[in-house]
Amino acid sequence: MDTQIVIMAGGIGSRLWPASTPRMPKQFIDLLGVGKTLIQLTVDRFLPVCPIENFWVVTSARYVDIVREQLPGIPADQILAEPEPRNTAPCIAYACRKIAVRHPRANIIVTPADALVLKTDVFADTIRAALAFTDGSDAIVTIGIRPTRPETGYGYIHAEQARIGAIVKVSEFKEKPDLVTAKAYLEDGSYFWNAGIFVWNVQTISKELSVNAPGIWEMMDRIAPSFYTDGEPAALAEWFPLCEKISIDYAVMEKSRSIYVIAEDLGWSDLGSWGSIMTHLQADSEGNAVVGEDVRLFECKDCLVHVPGEKTVVIQGLEGYVVVEADRRLLVCRLSEEQRIKEFSQKNS
C-alpha cells in the first residue's frame, strides 16, 4: 500500500496568544514543555504508519523555512506553500492533486498539525484500520474521538451505530452544540468528537472534489501542469487565491454519501486554549501547572504558568489565573476569561 500523509500547518492559533502569534503559531511551539513542537509530535505519531519520506506539509509561505528546520526529513518539494489561506478544502485539494501526479494509487491521510494524541499505539492501529478500508474503495473514513465529557467546543460526528473501534457509516456532521445538546450526545453514545483527520485514496478525493467543489477543482486543473517545475509558485500565486474559501467539511464531508467513521478513546485534544493545555500538564498539590525552568509559586492555586526558558518567575497569591510570557509579551488573565484572549491580543499586539 502506498500511504501518503498530509499535515495541514497554516493556522495561527490566536487563542494561545502570546505564545502563539502569526509570526510563530502554535504548531511550531513546544507548548507542553516536552522538548518537541506540536508538528514534530504529529509526525512522530504517524511514523509507525509510513516513513518520513511519505509526509507532506501544507503551510503558509511564511512558515516554509520553519517547517524545513523542524522537519528536515521531509523532502523539500513536499513542503507546499499556500500564497494565502483559503481554508481547508483548497489546501487539501492542492496537496492531493499534487500527490496524484507521482502516486496515482496512493492512500492519503490528512491531519491537522496542532493536536495532541496520548494513546499513540491505539491511534496507529486506528489509522491502519482506516487505510485498509479505503484502499481500493470509494469510502472516506474520518477519525472520531470517543467523548469523555459534554464538550461544547468541538464539532461532532453522528454515526449510524454506537460502536467503538469499528468502521461505521456517518449519519451527519454536527456543529458545536450547547451544553444541553452536548450532554444528550454523550448519553446517546453514537456521537463522537470530530478530530479533523480524514483517510481516502487519491481517486476518491479527486472524484469527490470534482463533483462537490468543481470551482476549486478547476483551479487545480489550471495549477497542475506546473507541478514539480519552476513555474509552480507563479501558477499557484495566480490561481490559488481564486479558490472558494471553504472548509473540507462543508465542501465535501456534508455532501458525500460515502463517509464512514472509526472512533476510539485516543487521549486526544485540539489544544485550542490554555485551559486545554493545562489539563495535559502535571499539576502540584494546589492544582498549579507550570512550564518553565525556574517558576516559584507562593499561595497560588489552580494556575497555569507558561514561561519557558531560563527566566526566574515569582508569583504570589493568584487563584485560577493563566500567566504566559513569550517574545516580550506578557499575559495575566483569569482562566475563566480565556475566551477573550483573542480579543485582548488584537487590542494590544
Dist. CA 86–CA 241, nearest whole Å: 7
Residue 109: the pLDDT is: 97
Is the model's pLDDT at 106 over the cut of 60?
yes
Dist. CA 32–CA 42, nearest whole Å: 13
Dist. CA 38–CA 134, nearest whole Å: 27
CA–CA distance from 32 to each of 140, 276, 277, 304, 323 (Å)? 32, 11, 7, 12, 14
Q: Are strands 156-159 and 107-112 parallel, antiparallel or unpaired?
A: unpaired
Dist. CA 55–CA 155, nearest whole Å: 27
Sign of the Cα pseudo-torsion (62, 66, 67, 73, in order): positive
* Cell reading at 190: 453514537
Global pTM?
0.92
Domains in the chain (CATH in brackets) are 3-269 (3.90.550.10), 274-348 (no CATH)
Listed range (7-16, 45-54, 61-70, 89-98) with the worst mean pLDDT: 7-16
Biggest alpha carbon–alpha carbon distance for the chain: 64
Dist. CA 156–CA 183, nearest whole Å: 12
108-167 per-position pLDDT tens digit: 999 999 999 999 999 999 999 999 999 989 999 999 998 888 988 889 999 988 888 899
Is the model's pLDDT at 348 over the cut of 70?
no
pLDDT level of residue 349 (50, 70, 90 thresholds): very low
Q: What is the mean pLDDT of the chain?
A: 93
pLDDT level of residue 310 (50, 70, 90 thresholds): confident
pLDDT level of residue 309 (50, 70, 90 thresholds): confident
7-55 per-position pLDDT tens digit: 999 887 788 999 999 899 999 999 998 999 999 999 999 999 999 999 9
Q: What is the DSSP string of 40-60?
A: HHHHHHHTTTS-GGGEEEEEE
Residue 154: the pLDDT is: 87
Instruction: Report yes or no: 17 and 325 within 8 Å, Cβ to Cβ.
Output: no
Percentage of the residues of the chain whose pLDDT score is greater than 90: 79
Query: Span 248-274, mean pLDDT?
Result: 91
CA–CA distance from 86 to each of 96, 216, 222 (Å)? 16, 10, 17
Is the model's pLDDT at 329 over the cut of 70?
yes
166-220 per-position pLDDT tens digit: 999 999 898 889 999 999 999 999 999 999 999 999 999 999 999 999 999 999 9
Q: For cell 478530530, what's the residue?
A: 195
Dist. CA 157–CA 193, nearest whole Å: 6
Residue 347: the pLDDT is: 60
Query: Span 87-100, mean pLDDT?
Result: 95
